[in-house]
Structure 1
Amino acid sequence: MKQVIQKWGKSFGIYLVLMILFPFVMPDEYYRSVGIIIGLHAIVTIGLCLVMGLAGQISLGQAAFWGIGAYTSAVLTTKYGLPPLVGLVAAAIVPGLFAFILGRAIAGLQGYYLAMATLAFGYIVQIGITEWEPVTGGASGMISIPRVPIFGDSELSMYYLIWAVVSCVLLFSLNVLNSRVGRAFRAIHKSEIAATSMGIDVRRFKLNAFVVSGMFAGISGGLYAHYMGILDPQPFGLHESIKFLTMVVVGGMTSIWGALIGTLVINFISEGLIAMSEFVPGLQGDIDTIVFGGILVLIIMFMPEGLVPRIRSLYEKSRAKKTKAKEELQRMERKATT
């Protein structure tokens, strides 16, 4: 944790200030709800960044873990009367178990085969939620899901609760990134053969990343259920998985901060499309899926490292040029004086 504070203390401080002030700068309830949705998505994308950017795995089923977490907490609180906090704990554990089982089953798969396996898992989960009507309510969904009674019951309290969870997830992930485990993940991402030759248990580390990612998505799903108060299977399909994937790729797969920035960028684009659809009827429907797919292709073609690593690289090059110019100027001044 000390290394995280030393390396990311300033960035995390700026993040905290922006997060705390946002509801007061944007006091409108609509923008607060947008901030809440961004926070929920950020929890998922940070976990997905651990899987893709560190462990080097492709997952197209992240929305499935999101849905499992949401329905787990919703069922426990509405049908069995358990407290929402118990539901949220279960919303982390149950998707984690599913991720463990799936991770063990597909441990030998890589590349497109892994992507197809997670895609199939996402379809199975969405169909299961839709067809298991006695428990999940089927296509009609569930209603009267209670709010989480922490910090009160208002929109503002829910905002701070969700972003407090985002902060914990962010700190945990940054700590992992700067630990021995993070170095092992980076070695696996660069070359699994080289990592294995160094004594790293590649399968175990990949499975751990997959489970943690599933748990993060489950926590976010549980919070989503308690925030919305209603659920239906529609948000937990391929469309949302592609959206999560786009957020990570746009921000930068190898950057935890990139996952957060990518989430902000894609959500702002999504809100922009919604606003434009009021004036341009052709932008209604599933146009956002096409837009996100196009963004994903363009980023992969022209900026595969993502926004945050590209900006960091440009900043470092600029600093290096300024330092070199300053040293050259000092050398010329010394030469002139002699």
Structure 2
Amino acid sequence: MQPGFCTFLRFFTLMMFCALCSGCLHLDVPPARIEFVSINHNSYSLYDVRFTSDRDLIHLYEAHGRGGQISTSLHCSLDGDLDFSVEHNIALEGYGLIEDMRLIEGDRRYEMLASIRFEDNEDRTGSSDIARSRLVRLLEPQDYVPCKVVITAFPFTAYYSKVMYVPTSRIIAEVKNPRIAPRQVSLKPADRPLTWLQFEPVCIVRWREELSPAYDQIDDVGLCRDAPYAGLLASFAPSNKKLRLITWSDQTPKPLTAYTLIRGDGRREPGISAENGDTHLVGSMTRETLKVEVGAGIGAKERWTPQI
């Protein structure tokens, strides 16, 4: 299902809810206090946001002897718009359903998980996802973005939590960090790679990024000990290097520019260049040739780093 259609469907559902609930009941429960815990890049445009709450928001209405809870979602405003009401459409927002919850033992608090995507609800191109380079530029002038949990239930008016403030530095770090670290997966014995060590953990060792469908695809699996150097581990590789993005015309660095590095084995590692134009660090067992996909008029210089 296309992101633009999902946004339209969500907006249509909320409008129908508002129309049906013009004379709705009100749940007499104080707004929940929610506090940010972490954000992690999941895949493609999805980010896992964890936060705590002093109330069980997934079963809120049931816990107070009511039924009809429709959806429980997290909304974050990226443009300073603090109107989180269901009748209002925030132009630039992070949005996602709350998918999981656990009770923090002895603390009487609940930890929630929402997988959100950052959307431009006024985009008319058919794809509402905000490009990562644009998202960084939107967030950099801000220290925090405000978020609220919104719960809809029939025949009640919408329920809203208190405001939670998420540090933009934490979001930017995840937006800039390419998701290339291998994940451990469970495979049936018949599907495992041939090896004498049948009980070794199996990891995804290569991803491929496709435009359609717009999700990462598993390209290869293997033993975790054969996984490529990625993320922080790249600095410990026998060979490592960065590229620096520059403009061809005047050879000046290009900061905060979206790029995709293509490794020697075909792996694609997307990222956003640093303030000095550098890409992320690449590590490998042997020297390899890198290719880079960038915009017109931009090139790359190879920068070898000292071996560790």
**TM class by shorter-chain length?**
under 0.3
TM-score relative to the length of structure 1: 0.22
Bigger fraction of residues in helix: 1
Q: Between the two structures, name the one with larger relative contact order (CA 8 Å, sep ≥ 6).
A: 1
